[in-house]
Amino acid sequence: MSRFWSDHVNNLQPYVPGEQLAIENLIKLNTNEHPYGPSPKAIAAIKQAANDSLRLYPSYDAKGLRQSIARLHHLEVENVFVGNGSDEILAHIFSGLFLRGGRPLLLPDISYSFYRTYCRYYQVPFEIIPLAEDFSIRVEDYTQQRDVAPAAIIFANPNAPTSLLVELGDVERIVKANPDTVVVVDEAYVDFGGKSASGLVKQYPNVVVVQTLSKSYALAGLRVGFALASPEIVAGLERIKDSFNSYPLDSLALAGAQAAIDDQDYFNEVRKAVMDARDELTKDLQGLGFTVLPSATNFVFAAHPEHDAAHLQQALKERGVLVRHFSQERIQQFLRITVGTLAQCKRLTQELATILERNAE
Ligand SMILES: Cc1ncc(COP(=O)(O)O)c(C=O)c1O
């Protein structure tokens, strides 16, 4: 690092994304991307927007896209904030809502690792709450009275990388028990098996729901996410946006995202195909002796009692199949496997069967 950087930058521990290798015939099941393409209507809208009007700045308030999202969630446009991927929205939330007089942010020990990265980047004080033995979120840990109310609570629901869901009633219990605390529910994967907390937004001023088009809408490359919250919280997020970058979504992203949201028929069709493939993959992995946590996402979290996960990941990579392994304590023996097409899932399980056999020799 150059000596011109501040100590703060020198000490950062950035998020490590999954590998994006440009190798032919590679089966990529490591970054929870959707195996099917986005809605053909989204692609058509992007192509149509690729015209001479690109010389103009895009809409600064993204009204059309926000209206479509509001309609889908039975909310008002003032309840919707959009950003360049949900990561950017989370960054605004960490910097704007979590620094409150030294009160801590509560977050699970096993969760989306970007949360800790943002804590360090924005110097947010935080307290880690361990998940239960079975990796579930213990709701009581977040509803008990504390001497000092936490500034905020954040968790992914369903959680990543565990794939486990907290039922909507329990999310509401957490929100209700913490009226002086912002509760952020990161629903990146909710469309694959959960119920959104978006219905709580009108009732509770302390809840913020964050979603993305990267997973269930198959638009990771377009970088679009959104938050649903009270008009006051959305107004604050707009203030942060306009102090940082007034045009986080370009014209192509606005057009493509709105068309994708409006095409609910396609969305539901491919979402179902992923969920069906997940159930099939789960059975096949169990047949090979893996323990698979009950997934409400587009990935499974699986461990084998006799085979080391890091070794399995490496062996799969050598055979052209990428899956994700985390070296964090408690989950070192798990693989996070994105649900691909049925054919990709079959290839994965065939490769795994061969590797397990060889290991046993
Ligand atoms: C739990 C969770 N939240 C947020 C994100 C970020 O998604 P986006 O592509 O919208 O930035 C991810 C991406 O993997 C995720 O797993």
- Say if residue 137 is in the same domain as residue 218: yes
pLDDT above 90 (res 355): yes
pLDDT above 90 (res 23): no
Q: Is the dihedral angle over the CA atoms 80, 85, 90, 92 positive or is it negative?
A: negative
* DSSP code string of 340-360: --HHHHHHHHHHHHHHHHHHH
Per residue in 131-142, pLDDT tens?
999 999 999 999
Distance 214 CA to ligand 1 centre (A): 7
- Which has the closest alpha carbon to 256: 209, 222, 231? 222
Residue nearest (by alpha carbon) to ligand 1 atom 3: 188
CATH code (residue 300): 3.90.1150.10
Per residue in 158-205, pLDDT tens?
999 999 999 999 999 999 999 999 999 999 999 999 999 999 999 999
Domain that holds residue 352: 7-37+265-360
Which pLDDT score, from 0 to 100, does residue 252 have?
98
- Say if residue 224 is in the same domain as residue 143: yes
CA-to-CA distance for 153 and 172, rounded, in angstroms?
13
Which pLDDT score, from 0 to 100, does residue 150 have?
97
Which pLDDT score, from 0 to 100, does residue 13 have?
86
What residues have CB less than 8 Å from 287, skipping those under 6 apart? none
Choose the final residue of a domain: 212, 243, 263.
Answer: 263
**Bridge partners of 83?**
225
What is the side-by-side strand order in the sheet with 80-83? 80-83, 225-228, 207-212, 182-186, 152-156, 105-108, 126-129
CATH code (residue 116): 3.40.640.10
pLDDT above 90 (res 361): no
Show the tokens assigned to 300: 């499974």
Q: Which atom of ligand 1 is nearest to the CA of 220?
A: 9
Choose the final residue of a domain: 231, 263, 295.
Answer: 263
Does any domain span residue 1?
Answer: no
Percent of all residues in the chain with a pLDDT value above 70, rounded to a whole number: 100
CA-to-CA distance for 351 and 296, rounded, in angstroms?
25
pLDDT above 80 (res 22): no
What residues have CB less than 8 Å from 282, skipping those under 6 apart? 292, 295, 300
Per residue in 66-77, pLDDT tens?
999 999 999 999
Q: Which atom of ligand 1 is nearest to the CA of 112?
A: 1
The count of structural domains within the chain is 2
Element holding 299 (H helix, E strand) = strand 299-303
What residues have CB less than 8 Å from 57, skipping those under 6 apart? 247
> DSSP code of 293?
-
Place of tokens 């690792």: 113
- Ligand 1 pocket (Cβ < 6 Å) reads 32, 85-87, 112, 156, 160, 186, 188, 212, 214, 220, 225
What residues have CB less than 8 Å from 311, skipping those under 6 apart? 359
Residue 59: band (very low, low, confident or very high) from pLDDT cuts 50, 70, 90:
very high
- Say if residue 187 is in the same domain as residue 317: no
CA-to-CA distance for 253 and 249, rounded, in angstroms?
6
Residue nearest (by alpha carbon) to ligand 1 atom 13: 188
Q: Which atom of ligand 1 is nearest to the CA of 213?
A: 10
Show the tokens assigned to 215: 């997973």
Among 214, 298, 326, 338, which is best to mutate for testing ligand 1, by the most ligand atoms less than 8 A from CB?
214
Question: 79 by DSSP, 3-state: which?
Answer: helix
pLDDT above 80 (res 24): no
Q: Is the dihedral angle over the CA atoms 35, 36, 42, 48 positive or is it negative?
A: positive
Mean pLDDT for the chain?
Answer: 96
- Which has the closest alpha carbon to 73: 182, 272, 234? 234
Distance 188 CA to ligand 1 centre (A): 6
- Say if residue 182 is in the same domain as residue 320: no
Per residue in 270-325, pLDDT tens?
999 999 999 999 999 999 999 999 999 999 999 999 999 999 999 999 999 999 99
pLDDT above 80 (res 46): yes
**64-87: average pLDDT:** 98
Which pLDDT score, from 0 to 100, does residue 31 have?
94
